Structure 1
């Protein structure tokens, strides 16, 4: 890795719940009227609001930015009797009460995809890492596919779906995978080849525009970045910072590999079948079962798989000044366990899904330490 680290930014999707009943409610329109339009936008469902961070150079700056955006959003929501939840799903939701946001694009999606659109009551975290060369972004996005499942495991926060425990740590992944373009991205030798593929899908009528390319990692459709899309929304800002730091380091490492290949080094093959299997396993297990090691292709304990991943990225993390923070946050995440586990513990105390929502509301409000040390 040479030169300064790339800037990075985050899009966070949030659920809106009634502060009294803890149920998902379609109230985004009055809330968005109170919020800065350059930082907050609507989503497919009226029960969801998206925040967009500024591009940041250091992870501490990103943490402060995400914390400030949450503070603004939560403050506006409170005045309307709403709570804000950052998680892949909320336990108390009813598809029959869902409402799609206004506009021709969303109306077309409802018409074309029907119940799939109605059931899209899920939220994700998207991380963007600056990469202006779209040819390189296309190559790197494909090469990163094997590393997406461990990042999903770190974010897993959707064990409950429409009032039931699904048995998965990230059931959002199962819901998301039903879209025709979801999953790992195939390899393309240039941005032009990638764009031809998208044009062909649009021409087929299966998708309506390039924004419906829902690959786990992709060249962004609207900014010069590589975009990570596989992760659940994370209740704790610290987990977003961890994922963002790891993803930036991965992008830097794969750029080095691509440049070496251009100088004659052997190219590494990516098995999309193996990636799909590993993604399913990460969605099922989170940090509490076993993950598929991206290098060895065998099952391993999350602590070992993620620990090896972090250690292998040490040169890139040190170059960016992120090693101390990211390695500490990784140890903390593995010690604490996934959000999915914490939600199940909250439910087990009294058998009340409202207690799960209360936990998520509290963690979404919790912020992030201002020092470069992980929270205790």
Structure 2
């Protein structure tokens, strides 16, 4: 299956005032400078925009697509004096200054969910992987669950919240979990079971509609794909490529196993899935994670190695194995985005500007086309 499986990504970005690093409600102005259509969209908060890639068959194609869409957003933001940062949670914000986008749906969400909606200053990366058989897709997403926290750890980019270090690598995960329909995937065995659960949640009034089903993975609403939703937004294009490549290989591996042994996987207790998810949010790549087979603590590098071993055969079939291993090694070497931000803050000369250093780093990384351009002053988006 892996050779023909296509992928795409949705990226969410925060908009900031370059002079202060604080969130800015400028999405209307940014979107006005972008082409209309499905590629660029508003989010709940007026301080965020979403990009949607095309459907890509290769990681090289995805990289080029992501660079092009990021460049367009950065240029549109530059034109109205704003900065763009790819991170799971905005480091600096004031809730009084950021309204929800004025649509009927978003206004209803603000009224019903109050503080949850009013503090939705978080952004995620979603990866879509071809999976036209919904029954198979539902069973596959259950198989994937123990591995998803390692993807979260690789993406963790949100250590700061309202100007303070939270102690977490992905505080977005903690803020996101407050929503009543967020978290691990329920153990369902068919598309009919999944759809019945979604219908029940909507009928309960806890979720307004099926768009508010925020599980870590789900069958996509408008495409024949499986959607992996656990990741933070990330500043580096390299990490978008890495996470998409790993997600595709994981899905292909799970499809092969489910096809060989339909329904053969035993459900993992939700408490262990929650524990692995929390551990990844807390540690990122600089502490321990939970082994997806035993749920015992292992060093992050060991957990990432287990993931690479799990997907190696499928990654080799697509020609991605060497690139994924190289990108994982680079992330482990620098500790991931949360660690890079903390180092930038530690180097900051003035305590009053400390968290600004994290925002400045995120802006530079979000503009860059790859790691190599960051140190050398080349490779950045014009």
Query: Normalising by structure 1, what TM-score?
Result: 0.95
Partner of 1:322: 320
Partner of 2:29: 30
The within-5 A match list for 1:290-301 is: 290-301=288-299
Deviations 1:145-193 (A, max 9, x none): 1111000000001000011110000000000000001111112221111
Partner of 1:132: 132
What is the CA distance between 1:271 and its match in structure 2? Answer: 2.4
What is the CA distance between 1:268 and its match in structure 2? Answer: 3.2
Partner of 2:330: 332
Partner of 1:149: 149
Matching of residue 4 in structure 1 with residue 3 in structure 2 = yes
Aligned length in residues: 369
Give, in whole Å, the separation in 2 of the partners of 1:16 and 1:248.
Answer: 29
The within-5 A match list for 1:336-355 is: 336-350=334-348, 351=351, 352-355=354-357
Structure 1 gaps, min length 5: none
Give, in whole Å, the separation in 2 of the partners of 1:266 and 1:164.
Answer: 45
The within-5 A match list for 1:161-240 is: 161-240=161-240
Partner of 2:287: 289
Q: Is the CA contact (8 Å cut-off) linking 1:183 and 1:215 kept in structure 2?
A: yes
Moved more, 187-196 or 113-122: 187-196
Provide the alpha-carbon RMSD of the alignment. 1.6
Deviations 1:116-160 (A, max 9, x none): 100010011000001111111111111111111000000001000
The within-5 A match list for 1:45-124 is: 45-124=45-124
Give, in whole Å, the separation in 1 of the partners of 2:4 and 2:75.
Answer: 33
Partner of 1:359: 361
What is the CA distance between 1:20 and its match in structure 2? Answer: 1.7
Deviations 1:215-247 (A, max 9, x none): 001111221111111111001010111111111
Give, in whole Å, the separation in 1 of the partners of 2:264 and 2:183.
Answer: 26
Give, in whole Å, the separation in 2 of the partners of 1:195 and 1:184.
Answer: 16
Partner of 1:312: 310
Deviations 1:30-57 (A, max 9, x none): 1101101231000000000000000100
Partner of 1:273: 271
Moved more, 95-104 or 278-287: 95-104
Moved more, 312-321 or 165-174: 312-321
What is the CA distance between 1:60 and its match in structure 2? Answer: 0.7
What is the CA distance between 1:369 and its match in structure 2? Answer: 7.7
Structure 2 gaps, min length 5: 373-377
What is the CA distance between 1:368 and its match in structure 2? Answer: 3.1
Partner SS state of residue 265, structure 2: coil
Partner SS state of residue 80, structure 2: coil
Give, in whole Å, the separation in 2 of the partners of 1:270 and 1:138.
Answer: 15
Deviations 1:61-114 (A, max 9, x none): 101110111111101110100000000112211112121001111011011100
Give, in whole Å, the separation in 2 of the partners of 1:254 and 1:161.
Answer: 36
Give, in whole Å, the separation in 2 of the partners of 1:50 and 1:266.
Answer: 37
Q: Is the CA contact (8 Å cut-off) linking 2:13 and 2:48 kept in structure 1?
A: yes
Give, in whole Å, the separation in 2 of the partners of 1:136 and 1:266.
Answer: 13
Q: Is the CA contact (8 Å cut-off) linking 1:64 and 1:368 kept in structure 2?
A: no
What is the CA distance between 1:3 and its match in structure 2? Answer: 6.3
Please list every run of at least 4 consecutive aligned residues from structure 1 whose deviation after the TM superposition is greater than 4 angstroms: none
Q: Is the CA contact (8 Å cut-off) linking 1:67 and 1:368 kept in structure 2?
A: no
Q: Is the CA contact (8 Å cut-off) linking 1:347 and 1:355 kept in structure 2?
A: yes
Moved more, 125-134 or 360-369: 360-369
Q: Is the CA contact (8 Å cut-off) linking 2:2 and 2:249 kept in structure 1?
A: no
